[in-house]
Amino acid sequence: MLKLFQSIFGGNEQPGRYAESLIELAIERAVDGTDPRLRAVAGYRKRLREPIIHAIDHVVSLVALLPTPLSAASTEFSSDPRLKALFVSPEHMREVFGNDLLLSEFREGNATPGEAITALLLAERKEKQTFGMEVAGDMLRRDVAQITVSFSHHRLIDLSNSEDETRRKLRHRAFDHLISIALSRISDAKSERVELKHRHELLKGKLKVLQKGGWSIDDKAGEHADPAALQREFDEIDEQLAALSIDERTLGWQLDTLIEVLTGAEQQFWAENIDLYLDRMNIRRKAGQADAQLINFKELHNVLGQNMVMLFVSIKSDELPKRKSFAENADRCLAELGLSSQR
User: How does DSSP assign 114-177, residue by residue?
Assistant: T-EEEEEEEEEEEEEEEEEEEEETTEEEEEEEEEEEEEEEEEEEEEESSHHHHHHHHHHHHHHH
The pLDDT assigned to 290 comes to: 77
Inform me whether the pLDDT recorded for 8 exceeds 70. yes
* Residues with Cβ within 8 Å of residue 68, at least 6 apart in sequence: 163, 312
The pLDDT assigned to 123 comes to: 96
What is the reported pTM?
0.80
> How distant is the alpha carbon of residue 181 from its chain centre?
13
Distance CA 214, CA 247 (A): 30
Residue 272, helix vs strand vs coil: strand
- For 64-112, write each residue's pLDDT tens digit: 999 999 999 988 998 999 999 999 999 999 999 999 988 988 988 775 6
- For 288-297, write each residue's pLDDT tens digit: 887 889 999 9
- For 110-149, write each residue's pLDDT tens digit: 756 678 999 999 999 999 988 776 766 666 677 677 899 9
Inform me whether the pLDDT recorded for 256 exceeds 80. yes
